[in-house]
Amino acid sequence: MRLAGRLALITGASRGLGAATAVAYAKEGAHVVLVARTVGGLEAVDDQIKAVGGNATLVPLDVTDGPGLDRLGAALHERFGRLDILVGNAGVLGTLSPIGHFEPKVFEEVMAVNVTANWRLIRSMDPLLRRSDAGRAIFVTSGASRKILPYWGAYAASKAALDMLVGVYAAEVAHTAVKVNLFNPGPTRTGMRRQAFPGENEAQQIPPEAHAEALIQLALPSCTMNGAWVAGDEALKR
């Protein structure tokens, strides 16, 4: 088992890519800490993890609860003393709208979940990652961060901000044992994809489970990449 004895924390872990990653890591021997808002969703993923012989800790928490993330970091420090793998996967699309028509509440929520929550996550978990012999942090981004897409203003801006935030973090830990990278899954079969492209043929979308190997590789102690932007759909073609 390639992740035996490793401790991984995954946000947005109750469905989609987060759930698939949690099961994949557990199957490889990691103890996974699952963070999501819905208890029922977390319990369903926990059942999948138990079915493959894995172990999980369930944390019902909204990632926009900054003090809650701080408390989680403190609890992990007290119980485990470190964190080996961090996957910042939680994200929201918001609405697709002309920039001048966005409701402030919607715009602020997209930024809160996609940017600020990941900054708070880094702030809380960085000391724990540095206590690992090979801390690995992976943040889920999007091709929207690199394209000019009309009506995608809030989401695209949030992912572009995340890319820069994570890039700076990677530079700051460059001389440590921590490696930090971005992962773009591409057109993956998730609820967010259905929301963005309701008429798209789901048979042509990538199942979230197909990204397991790429996300395992980024989590391994042997991973040497730092500050990379990894395109998941391109990795599947190799």
How many separate helices (H) and strands (E) can be counted in the chain? 9, 7
Strands 85-88 vs 229-231: parallel, antiparallel or unpaired = unpaired
AA identity, residue 84? D
Residue 169: active-site member: no
pLDDT tens digits, one per residue of 23-42 = 999 999 999 999 999 999 99
Confidence tier at 235 by pLDDT (50, 70, 90): low
Confidence tier at 234 by pLDDT (50, 70, 90): low
Note the pTM of the prediction, 2 decimals.
0.95
> What percent of the chain lies above the pLDDT cut of 70?
96
Beta-bridge mates of residue 34: 10, 58
Evaluate whether 195 touches 139 at the Cβ level (below 8 Å): no
- Contacts by 146-151, CB closer than 8 A, 24 or more apart: 150/98, 151/96, 151/97, 151/98
Domains recognised in the chain with CATH numbers: 63-237 (3.40.50.720)
Mean pLDDT across 198-224: 88
pLDDT tens digits, one per residue of 103-145 = 999 999 999 999 999 999 999 999 999 999 999 999 999 999 9
Q: Which of 72, 163, 147 is nearest to 114 (CA)?
A: 163
- Tokens standing for residue 209: 């489970």
Residues 85 and 222: their CA atoms lie apart, in Å, by: 13
pLDDT tens digits, one per residue of 72-104 = 999 999 999 999 999 999 999 999 999 999 999
Burial category of 142 from C-beta neighbours within 10 Å (exposed 0-12, middle 13-18, buried 19 and up): buried
Whether residue 155 has pLDDT greater than 60: yes
